[in-house]
Structure 1
Amino acid sequence: MQYNKSQLLLIYILIIPLSVKAAEMPSSVPLDIKNATTITSWKSSNTWSNYSNLRHTVKKPVSVIQPITSSIKANPANGKKLVANRKKGNCVACHILPDVSQPGNIGMNLSFIGAWNLPDQLLFNYIYDARIYNPNTVMPPWGAHNILTTDEIKDIVSYLKTLTIPVPLPQRRIPTNNVDNLDEFENPAMFELETGADLFIESCQKCHKNPEDKFAKWAVTMPKFEPRLNKIIGIEEFITRHAKATTNVKYLLQSEENLALTIYLRNLANGQKIAVDTSDTNTNLALKRGKTLTQRKIGQLNFACTDCHKKNSGKWIRGQYLKKLTNIIDHYPTYRSGKDAIWDINKRIQWCNLAARANDLPPDAAEYADIELYLTVESNGSELSVPGFGP
């Protein structure tokens, strides 16, 4: 069938907008867009405002070479302490060094660096600001970002110069999680299913009958773009805003009630494959922002998500195995045994901010939502299994 220009224009007007908005949150869904979704007095828990975070860029130019005019002869004993100090040098997080259990292997084996006869100026400046030599390095600018003093760097250089005997790479097995995350005797988060079901009956069932059918696939289509807020929202924020609008209850982000309802709704979709639609313009733009944010260097340590979970995935930071960015989202919220707490994905991103020594953002930050979208799309096709269990 042939169409004239007027008919084609009408088809474009009527059909294209429907497909463009197919992935967005329907405007008919009641949402509270005025009240806070978390504590109204939210304030970042950190004081690293002099460094970039996921919202603000603080320019920290690459240093120039610091001249070292004579051989460095400082305190190697203090240098040995600094390379293992988690708040200072912490070189063993990424490098193999002697007398250390579970060293990392992101960086080169430094256990015999003293036999390389490297110039003191090179050793000093590589620690002071490795970006001088490699703009894409994952090594923090220890001196330039005021983590180590000049004298402390000299102590580390003096220690490194004493190392001449290589230490072999420790043999490690890729960790496997043998815990059945859906067994309530093994995963404490499973007990929140009952709490979530009770909350659903109390607050949701009047409008949403047969949740096992109605929400059998909903969770694997989230998050979505919400035009009224001009941002992506995940299930956690949706619960907060929808519950407030419909029943006037407060299920604030990261509260026990919010986590329980999130676990319940995601659990209903367990076994379904993640299938987030990114066909509309706004979702696509958010997806690109999310990917960019995972590549952004932040904090005093100057880390990006991809430094650990792309460039060095499959390696170790001390005793922690670094996973890829894919297949992270399919088990959140998750019980973290090491923290004895249930975390949603935003809590996990906040914690990574702290690890990079960057100011974190409120749980409902648009930046976290964009990253959640990116991580979810990266996991498209993987099966949901909530709640998760991990270290």
Structure 2
Amino acid sequence: MRRAGARPLRLVALMALGAGCAATAAETPDYSNLPKWTSRAVPEARGDYRTLPDGKRAAVRYAGWTTRDFGTFRTYAYDDTRAEPPVQRATMPAGAVGDPPKGRALFLSRSKGPCVGCHLIPGADVWPAGSVGPDQSTIADRRLPDQYLYQVIWDPRVFFPNTTMPPWGTAGVFSTEEIVDLVAYLQTLKAPLAPETDADRSPFTRRRPVGFGDGLDATNNPAVLLAEDAESLWTARGSGGKACADCHEGGVRRAMRGVAVRYPKLVKAHGRVMSVEDFLAVHAPETTGRELPEESPENLHLTVLVKMVSNGLAVSVDTTSAEARAALARGKATFERRVGERNHACADCHTPERGANKFLGGRLLADVTSGMTRHFPVWRTSLGEVWDVRKRLQWCMTPLGANMLAADSVEYAELELYLTTFDNGRPLSVPGIRH
């Protein structure tokens, strides 16, 4: 029974989180005195490069990922002090006449955008279209000047300083001629529209995804079985002659209960914020002699096991200590920092006032205020493997056109800490399932 006048625990938790985040928002990020970090990740997760015979750089990334070097564009690295690309005004060439069919092909081109990732246009071949940007199906009926459309595509920040639309011309993605073709195509889009024959074609009538079933059911989520198999790592002795079980008595379920809900956190021995994965990558070799590099299957599966034993407990990362507040200020700044060829920030996709709860292509964008981390690591059904938050952050760099950092970088750790504050007070449930 609750005492008269007592506030529900859930409300108190939310108020505490709000107070912590509000305080963080007012603080100026301090990037001094951060440790230099040598990555303990597997080679493909370190953000490294190799030099090709022609002298150009190619990125070393996971198998199947692009090797393109996006070094022209700024990143999330704390020592990357480059500013956003300056806003560019552009004038459509006098007398230029575009080709509408070419413009439509460019609108659909995956190598360029695609523009349909954010905007709906007519056509049964338009799939999947997104809703982050406005529906352009009848834009020509607005009778907007060609010059206006040209400028909006070239660099929309001239008119909309906080837009989520990339500066396509400024970034060099679309050429002058291509933007002229895009303008010509947009000026053909008029009512009336043909009746929709498939409600899922339009992001405005498309059914929302409903999930993948019980993530903790071993018959439904293979990551549960992988975590159970990782119990052998808990008891296996490394080259140093010790095992995790030798120092953490009572078995993993007893010894680790309640540990994961406090991560990411500042680990004073290393002078930085660390996730469970980060800590395993340095602690295991130091204490047992066993290498558990970040993003290795062994590290990921053992992380799932350590987190699983705290399932049901409320996430409770530190938001109040001086060290945590400093890290959160940096993490929040990273969340809002626009990077890459697309000049996008995490906040552009994952805050309610921008892209959250809208479709980016066929994918519904998550809302950071609903919490995004308490189910990670997750099983990726489309790939048949476990992903943690860090690999997801690295993957996000690809569509942004930004070079990824090492999976165990301080920058990603503090960004993950900031994201995790929105899960504070909510029950941990690992592993999750994602497509």
**Which residue is 2:417 aligned to?**
373
Contact 1:332 1:344 in 2 (8 A): yes
Change (3 A) 1:115 1:35: closer
Q: Is residue 153–residue 167 contact of structure 2 (8 Å, CA) maintained in 1?
A: yes
- Count of aligned positions: 359
> Which stretch of structure 1 is more off in the superposition, 132-141 or 68-77?
68-77
Picking from 333, 336, 340, the partner of 1:292 is: 333
Matched residue, 1:337: 381
Contact kept? 2:120, 2:135, Cα under 8 Å: yes
- Comparing 168-177 and 276-285, the one that deviates more: 168-177
Counterparts of residues 165-314 of structure 1 (less than 5 Å): 165=191, 167=193, 170-202=204-236, 203-210=243-250, 211-310=252-351, 311-314=354-357
Q: 2:372 matched to 1:328? A: yes
CA distance in 2, matches of 1:174, 1:194: 32
How many percent identity over aligned positions?
35
**Cα distance in 2 between the residues matched to 1:188 and 1:61:** 44
Partner residue in 1 for 2:86: 62
Verify: 1:130 aligned to 2:156, yes or no.
Answer: yes
The alpha carbon displacement at 1:189 in A equals 1.0
Q: The residue matched to 2:246 in structure 1 has which SS?
A: coil
**Matched-pair contact (CA < 8 Å) for 1:75–1:158:** yes
SS of aligned partner of 2:266: strand
Secondary structure at 1:82 match in 2: helix
Deviation at 1:215, TM superposition (A): 1.4
Deviations 1:85-123 (Å, cap 9, x if unpaired)? Answer: 112141111111011133111111111111221111101
Which whole-Å CA distance do the structure 1 matches of 2:112 and 2:273 have between them? 38
| Correspondence for 2:75 among 32, 40, 53 | 53
What is the rounded CA distance, in whole Å, between the counterparts of 2:298 and 2:208 in structure 1? 35
Q: Give the Å deviation of 1:277.
A: 2.0
> Which residue in 2 is equivalent to 1:18?
none
Q: Please show how residues 345-360 of structure 1 align to structure 2 within 5 Å.
A: 345-360=389-404
Instruction: Give yes or no for contact 1:50–1:58 (8 Å, CA) kept in 2.
Output: no
Cα distance, 1:68–1:212 mapped onto 2, change above 3 Å: closer
Let me know the Cα RMSD of the aligned residues: 1.9
Question: Is contact 1:72–1:158 with CA below 8 Å preserved after alignment?
Answer: no
Structure-2 change in CA distance of 1:101 and 1:229 (3 Å)? same
Write the letter of the residue equivalent to 2:415. Answer: I
Equivalent residue of 2:374, what SS?
helix
- In structure 2, the gaps of 5 or more residues are 1-35, 50-58, 60-67, 197-201, 237-242
* Consecutive unaligned residues in structure 1, runs of 5 or more: 1-32
2:177 to 143, 151, 175: 151
Evaluate the alpha carbon distance shift between residue 177 and residue 40 of structure 1 in structure 2; reply closer, same or farther with a 3 A threshold.
Answer: closer
| Structure 1 length-normalised TM | 0.87
The one-letter amino acid of 1:38's match is A
**87-96 or 265-274, larger mean C-alpha shift:** 87-96
With over 3 angstroms needed to count, the CA separation of the structure-2 counterparts of 1:123 and 1:295, relative to structure 1, is same
Q: Contact between 1:54 and 1:367, CA under 8 Å: does it hold in 2?
A: yes
Task: Give the letter for the 2:163 counterpart.
Answer: T
* Bigger shift: residues 40-49 or 204-213: 40-49
Q: Which amino acid aligns with 2:143?
A: N
Aligned partner of 1:318 in structure 2 is 361
How far 1:34 moved relative to its partner? 8.9
Q: Distance in 1 between matches of 2:84 and 2:333?
A: 19
The structural deviation recorded for 1:65 is: 2.4
Deviates more, 1:297-306 or 1:273-282: 273-282
TM-score normalised to the size of structure 2?
0.79
Measure, in 1, the Cα distance between the counterparts of 2:355 and 2:192: 23
SS at match of 2:379: strand
2:54 paired residue number: none
What secondary structure does 1:175 align onto? coil
| Matched AA of 2:110 | R
Deviations 1:289-328 (A, max 9, x none): 1111110101001110010110221111111101111321
